[in-house]
């Protein structure tokens, strides 16, 4: 009779606590790297801290910005650490786009405004009316003021029809405010001119605080809202969300 194999069966390797810890750490590192790549080159979340884009965007809105829409700027991408100058890849911005950009005088600060002037355009405000390339931009007064943003009693909302651009709502507080009459701005090559939809409460390209924005400072195009909280509601207080979330604004496109 053949001899029986009495050798003990091989035992699977025992996973130690150290092995489990290494695997967990590796998974976390991979996840962080993937998130970093997505945030740098695809989509980045932003929140709205001011009312300069009311009624389009409200304080407490959270939105996604597509980083690839306009390519990648040497200042506006990955904290300005990528080794190139200017902007590479992507398409050209269009008049009327809502854009996140780095403030030219302080690239650590993000601004979000509407693109009004393209390279070579002239832009001017005259008695509250926007002029582009010498032509007044048509606006239609709305019968009612959108209640969002707690508008003051003298607020008026208009539909503004940008040339070769979208129709969108702007808010005015009369037509004789400090930024309602300006010099003629001539947009230089490779620069852009931005304004807020809340026209009389916006630091934008009409002011020396912002001025013209180089293409290298563009971060991306604001695409859609993914979350929105009432002013003063902390994001981390999730148990209050049933009352503090503005549910009707979730997952709405930005126009």
75 vs 105, residue with greater confidence: 105
What's the mean pLDDT in 111-134?
97
The pLDDT confidence band at residue 6, using thresholds 50, 70 and 90, is: low
The model carries a pTM of 0.84
CB 111 within 8 A of CB 129: no
Q: Which residues does the annotation mark as catalytic? A: 52, 113
Q: Which residues pair with 197 in a beta bridge?
A: none
Residue-by-residue DSSP string for 45-85:
EEE--SSTTTTTS-TTEEEEEESSTT-EETTTSGGGTSS--
pLDDT digits (tens, 9 = 90+) for 145-199: 989 888 999 999 999 999 988 899 999 999 999 999 999 999 999 999 999 999 9
What is the set of domains in the chain, with CATH numbers? 44-249 (2.10.109.10)
What's the mean pLDDT in 69-87?
75
- Element housing 35 (H / E): helix 17-41
What is the reported pLDDT for 72? 81
Q: Which residue has the tokens 């809502």?
A: 98
What's the mean pLDDT in 27-51?
74
Which residues, other chains included, contact 180 with Cβ-Cβ below 8 Å and sequence gap of 6+?
A: 125, 126, 127, 128, 174, 200
Residues 50, 234: Cα–Cα separation, whole Å? 15
Say whether the peptide bond before residue 209 is cis (omega within 30 degrees of 0). Answer: no
Chain centroid to CA 143: 29
What's the mean pLDDT in 107-124?
97
Minimum mean pLDDT range among 27-41, 91-105, 138-152, 201-215: 27-41
What's the mean pLDDT in 126-140?
97
What's the mean pLDDT in 46-63?
95
Measured at the CA of 148, the angle between CA 145 and CA 154, to 5 degrees, comes to 40
pLDDT at 30 over 70: no
What is the reported pLDDT for 41? 64
What is the reported pLDDT for 39? 60
Minimum mean pLDDT range among 88-92, 105-109, 171-175: 88-92
- Element housing 30 (H / E): helix 17-41
pLDDT at 33 over 70: no
Q: Is residue 194 classed exposed, middle or buried when 0-12, 13-18 and 19+ CB atoms within 10 A define those classes?
A: buried
């Amino acid at each position: 009779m053949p001899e029986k194999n009495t050798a003990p069966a091989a035992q699977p390797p025992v996973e130690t606590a150290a092995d489990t810890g290494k695997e967990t750490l590796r998974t976390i590192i991979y996840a962080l790297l993937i998130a970093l790549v997505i945030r740098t080159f695809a989509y980045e979340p932003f929140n709205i801290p001011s009312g300069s884009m009311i009624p389009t965007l409200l304080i407490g809105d959270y939105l996604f910005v597509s980083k690839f829409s306009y390519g990648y700027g040497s200042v506006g991408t990955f904290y300005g650490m990528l080794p190139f100058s200017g902007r590479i890849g992507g398409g050209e911005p269009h008049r009327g786009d809502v854009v996140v950009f780095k403030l030219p005088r302080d690239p650590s600060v993000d601004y979000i405004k509407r693109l009004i002037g393209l390279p070579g355009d002239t832009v001017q405000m005259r008695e509250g009316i926007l002029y582009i390339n010498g032509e007044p931009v048509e606006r239609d007064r709305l019968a009612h003021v959108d209640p969002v943003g707690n508008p003051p009693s003298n607020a008026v909302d208009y539909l503004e029809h940008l040339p070769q651009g979208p129709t969108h709502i702007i808010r005015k507080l009369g037509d004789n405010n400090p930024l309602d009459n300006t010099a003629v701005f001539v947009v230089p090559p490779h620069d852009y001119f931005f304004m807020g939809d809340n026209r009389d409460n916006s630091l934008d390209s009409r002011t020396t605080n912002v001025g013209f924005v180089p293409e290298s400072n563009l971060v991306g195009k604001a695409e859609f809202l993914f979350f929105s909280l009432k002013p003063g509601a902390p994001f981390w207080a999730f148990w209050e969300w049933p009352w503090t979330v503005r549910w009707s604004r979730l997952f709405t496109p930005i126009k």
